[in-house]
Amino acid sequence: MKKYHRGDEMSVCVERSGLEPGEGIAHLADDTMVIVLGAGHRVGEMVDVVVTSDIQTSLGDSLIASLKN
């Protein structure tokens, strides 16, 4: 059963830039990685995001999120 769903809102701290331009990377308390689109320039800041999709890999769950307007 999924812990997080499309449309979920949360606040995360952007820890570093992602692999793609404009992406920021954050982690939740349960170690789920959150790729925040449009937050590459917000490293070190808390941002409000909305989950747009999830990815399940052999390394664990990851979420894709956008900045909340």
Q: Which tens digits make up the pLDDT trace of 39-55?
A: 999 999 999 999 999 98
Percent of the chain with pLDDT over 90: 83
SS3 47: strand
User: Residue 40 in contact with residue 18, Cβ under 8 Å?
Assistant: yes
Domain boundaries, the chain: 9-67
Report the sign of the C-alpha dihedral through residues 15, 20, 22, 23, in that order: negative
HSE of 3, CA atoms in CB hemisphere, 13 A: 13
pLDDT recorded at residue 58: 81
At 1, is the pLDDT very low, low, confident or very high (cuts 50, 70, 90)?
Answer: low
Model confidence, pTM: 0.91
pLDDT recorded at residue 69: 81
**Residue 12 is encoded by which pair of tokens?**
């995360």
Mean pLDDT, the chain, rounded, equals 93
Q: Number of helices (H) and strands (E), helices first, in the chain?
A: 0, 6
Residue range 9-67 forms a domain whose CATH class is: mainly beta
